[in-house]
Structure 1
Amino acid sequence: PKPILDKFGISVYEIERGGDVTYHGPGQITGYPIIDLRNYKKDVHWYLRQLEEVIITVLAEYNIIGKRVKDYTGVWVENEKIAAIGVAVKKWVTYHGFAFNVNPDLSHFKLINPCGITDKEVTSLEKIISCNISIEEVEDKIISAFKEVFSVNIT
């Protein structure tokens, strides 16, 4: 509910993209790639799976098994969501993207039903590996994984 979120200084914005309610805040890496899918595949589900693969590749760098869960978009570790994905596509050009939980305040997710899911929890990289981790380190790994998964050169 908006009054509770306001109390925590969390702003609410209504946007047009796939998925349901999500939270973006400190400790997350959000990536909103703008890609012309005509240069890849004109298939939004393919694109979603590629974004998931980027996160799964990054998690593997930390010896963590990230996985997809049937009927849900995003990346999971065990039964907890570590990355949310919500995209929109106009004329085969993507916008919006993913939010990867590195070290956010996980209590903020208790204020919403993340992605409309009520029976699963949210986790973070820091919680799983039980040590502090820098956003910059993870950003570098995401860029590297993105280059690999999408076969692109990012400078």
Structure 2
Amino acid sequence: MNKTIQFLELGQMDYKEAWDYQEQLFKEILDIKIANRREESATETPNYLLLIEHPHVYTLGKSGDMANMLLNEKQLEAKGASFYKINRGGDITYHGPGQIVGYPILDLENFFTDIHKYLRLLEEMVILTLAEYGIAGTRSEGETGVWLDVGTPFARKICAMGVRASRWVTMHGFAFNVNADLGYFDNIIPCGIRGKAVTSLNVELGVEKVNEDKVKEKLLNHFANLFEAELRIVDRNVHIF
């Protein structure tokens, strides 16, 4: 079992470009697993974690409802945003500057074979990070992601999650609002959930801007500990295949 995870920080990247890159890594792992089964071999499968920031974009999951997108094509263009229907679970969400987006592309057979545990650990990573800022993040039953003040009229989501998995290989992941422009969420019904707000770490702390590099350090530390993994930094300019 390979518990080393190759970590790439890719900076700001177009959503489609990042999606294509995920698909390449995802296919690489699947191809190794299929070959291992066919040839009765035991080639080690790699694991990856990508951290990215996207330009303004809305994405709709495969089970999502198009009615939750409140803008037409011209309005999207006016806001400088793009839109994609994609192959993750979940409904509609927004990505943009000031948001830390993470795409773990893992062979869960290197860790554990439980997709629910996988999602709970991603949530726990964010909950532990929030706790370091004195904020009590929590889960909301039946609603994947990380929330604040669940069970009150002030419930609000600070981190959305949506994943795809095949043969225990994952892709897509989480979107943590750190310094996000929350106005962009007004153009959708986030995750298809009516009547609940969205928030960002800087808003909760009452500051103009949170140091995103420090947030990333905390996330990565908790991610490695929760998955009992070693993160190996890979330069974004290095071809990793």
Pick one of 102, 120, 132 that aligns with 1:31: 102
- The residue that corresponds to 1:104 in the other structure is 180
Residue type of the alignment partner of 1:2: N
CA distance in 2, matches of 1:103, 1:26: 8
Aligned to 2:162: 86
Deviations 1:63-121 (A, max 9, x none): 11000001100000111100000000011100000000001100000101111111100
**Secondary structure at 1:49's aligned position in 2?**
helix
Other-structure match for 1:2: 72
**Larger gyration radius, structure 1 or structure 2:** 2
Cα displacement (A) at 1:40: 2.2
From 196, 204, 212, give the equivalent of 1:120. Answer: 196
Q: How many residues align?
A: 155
CA–CA distance in structure 2, aligned partners of residues 146 and 40 of structure 1: 13
Give the AA of the match of 2:213: E
4+ residue stretches of structure 1 with deviation over 6 A? none
Unaligned runs of 5+ in 2: 1-70, 150-154, 233-241
Q: Quote how far apart the aligned CAs of 1:41 are.
A: 2.2
Distance in 2, Cα, partners of 1:48 & 1:110: 26
Query: SS at 1:118's partner residue?
Result: coil
TM-score norm. by structure 2 comes to 0.63
Q: Is the 8 A contact 1:67 1:75 kept in 2?
A: yes
Determine the C-alpha separation between the residues in 2 that align with 1:91 and 1:2: 37
Q: C-alpha separation between the residues in 2 aligned to 1:118 and 1:151?
A: 37
Please report the RMSD computed on the Cα atoms of aligned residues, expressed in angstroms: 0.9
Question: Residue in 2 aligned with 1:45?
Answer: 116
Match of residue 210, structure 2, among 133, 141, 144: 133
Contact 1:2–1:12 under 8 Å retained in 2: no
**Higher mean C-alpha displacement, 66-75 vs 31-40:** 31-40
* Alpha-carbon distance in structure 1 between the residues aligned to 2:138 and 2:109: 27
TM-score norm. by structure 1 comes to 0.96
Instruction: Indicate the percent of aligned positions where both proteins have the same amino acid.
Output: 50
- RCO higher in structure (CA 8 A, sep ≥6): 1
1:64 matched residue in structure 2: 135
